[in-house]
Every structure is written in structure tokens, then in C-alpha cells.
Structure 1
């Protein structure tokens, strides 16, 4: 499995935190921002999309997730984190806090989507079992994820986004 690096901001209930559950299960590790040298940084404020063409970078350097409250999240949180900053294509949240909202994913949803899109579907399946609602995430987004994972260029990804979303929400 590619490395999953979590920059944990301690802004929510640790008992319900999806990143901490990935850490407890040995699927991710918590790091300080200064220790991130490279990696594919999931940054919702980025102008660049994550696509299948980043698989090699994910293999070499892993995926970096900033675990923070969406209510407090600001672009400045990502300054100083080294790596390639990308945003996910639009997906629908299934987590209990933001169910049905496009683009407001939990950390585990973002990691799972990143793994699927970059071709690590077996690891995506592994994350499905950590929370009951992850099956709902799959049900809501499987067609989107399949299309996004087939794109070989940014143009193909943007066409897939337009095919599903009249006005892309993020």
C-alpha cells in the first residue's frame, strides 16, 4: 500500500476521527508538516486535479492528508507543506457529518478516492471496511470514480467531470 501521511490538526473528536482510525489500523502515519519532503498533497484549494497519471508519484512518495475541520480550513494551512498539491475531482460525501454534500469529504473518503483514482483499487477496498458508511460512499461515487480513474490526461478528466456535473461544485 502506498504511504498515507496524516498532518493531524486536532480539531475534532478523536473517537470519531477517520484519520486516527487509519493510523490505529496501521494504514497511515501521523507526521509533522516539516517532515513531509515529497508526496501528493490533497489540497482542496489547489488548481490542479489528482488523476491516474500521478500513480508513480503516489508509489514513490505517498499521499499526504491534512486532517482539519472543514469549518476552520483555510488555504494558509497548506503553506509550507512540500509536495505536489492537488485537489480531488468532485465526489459526494457519505460521512455522517457532511452526508450528500459534494466535495466535503472526510480524510478516509479523500484517501480512498485517491487510491481508487490512481489505480490502487485493492487498497480502496481495504478502507471500505473501516466504517459502515464507506459502503455508501462507494455506492454514491463508484461511477464517478470509475470514470475518473480511466482518464489518461487532464483534458479527459475534465471531460469526465463535465459529463457528470453541469456546474462542477469544486
Structure 2
């Protein structure tokens, strides 16, 4: 059994890439090249897929673990400057946003919620209980250790929430009444 196949058995990661950023710095492409994600287009319809959508009213939580494991996670890689709700309209699946986290990437370092694709997928993996994959994604960039340092306490709290209400309470505990996203 190849290492690549083993990863696909645990969690499927899909990426739609808009190529709006420098391709050398594109974290979704790096996940694809590392064999951790599969590049797809909008025609890729997979019912039930968990779509990381920062415009969704619902948060991703550990209660979605079985759905993540069964169907996989989709990240849409686009420039934050051009990201709109319209880019997500034609994508079927369960749309959820990540709870607030701090990016460790050099472009948006410390700007709440403005994660790179690899940070978003890593956070989703951790929150859904796939810590081995989280560790593998951390190894793709040196600055992913910074992401981990900034968010380890938050990720642990988010991963223990049993419902949207418990997650909302954890978010409020760390971010106050008006979370950044």
C-alpha cells in the first residue's frame, strides 16, 4: 500500500484553484504536489462534501468527523481580495466556516480568519479529529509551526466542542462577544 493511498483512506482533500495568487506561493498547489490533495474544478460534484466556506453561517466542528471521513473536505483557493460568496454558489455540499484562528503565513500573519488554504485544511483536519493529517500538513511549510503555536490552544478547544452551541461558547471565551469571523 502506498503512502498516498493511505492518506486518501483517512481523509480526502480537494482543491479548486482560481490562480489569482503567485503560483510559487500557492499552498493548495503544494498540497496537490505533495499528494495530500486532489485538484478538481467546479464540475466536480460530490454530494455531502464538506466545503470550507468563510461566508457560511455554520461552523465546522468535531460532530462533522464522519462526514469529513466519508466524503472529504474541499478548499477553494482564491485571493482574499477577490473572494466573494458567489464563488461558492455552484459548489454542492455541506458549507461550513472555520472558527476564528490566526494565520501564521507571511502574507496575512496575525490577521484573524485570513488563513491560507493549507492552514484552513490543517485546521479542519485537527478540529474533525484527524491529527495525523494535521501533522503532515504542518510539515509542508516552516511557517506552519507558527500557525500551530498561534492556534494550538484554540484548536484544542474547538476540537472538544460537542455542538454548535458549545463551539460558540468556546469562541466567545477566546474572542469575546464579537468574534472576527
Give the shorter-chain TM-score range: over 0.9
RMSD: 0.6
Alignment pair present for 1:169 and 2:180: yes
The equivalent residue for 1:146 is 156
Alignment pair present for 1:83 and 2:97: no
The equivalent residue for 1:110 is 120
The equivalent residue for 2:37 is 28
The equivalent residue for 1:14 is 23
Give the gaps of 5 or more residues in structure 2: 1-9
Between Structure 1 and Structure 2, how many residues are aligned? Answer: 170
C-alpha distance in structure 1 between counterparts of 2:24 and 2:40, whole Å: 19
Alignment match of 2:50 (pick from 40, 56, 70): 40
SS at match of 1:80: coil
C-alpha distance in structure 2 between counterparts of 1:70 and 1:78, whole Å: 14
Cα deviation per residue 1:15-74 (whole Å; 9 max; x = unaligned)?
110000000000001101121323100000000000000001101110000000000001
C-alpha distance in structure 2 between counterparts of 1:146 and 1:33, whole Å: 33
C-alpha distance in structure 2 between counterparts of 1:75 and 1:50, whole Å: 17
- Scaled by the length of structure 2, the TM-score of the pair is 0.93
C-alpha distance in structure 1 between counterparts of 2:88 and 2:82, whole Å: 13
The equivalent residue for 1:97 is 107
Q: Which runs of 4+ in 1 moved over 4 A?
A: none
The equivalent residue for 1:123 is 133
The equivalent residue for 1:159 is 169
* Cα displacement (A) at 1:98: 0.2
Give the gaps of 5 or more residues in structure 1: none
Alignment match of 2:79 (pick from 69, 89, 92): 69
The equivalent residue for 2:6 is none
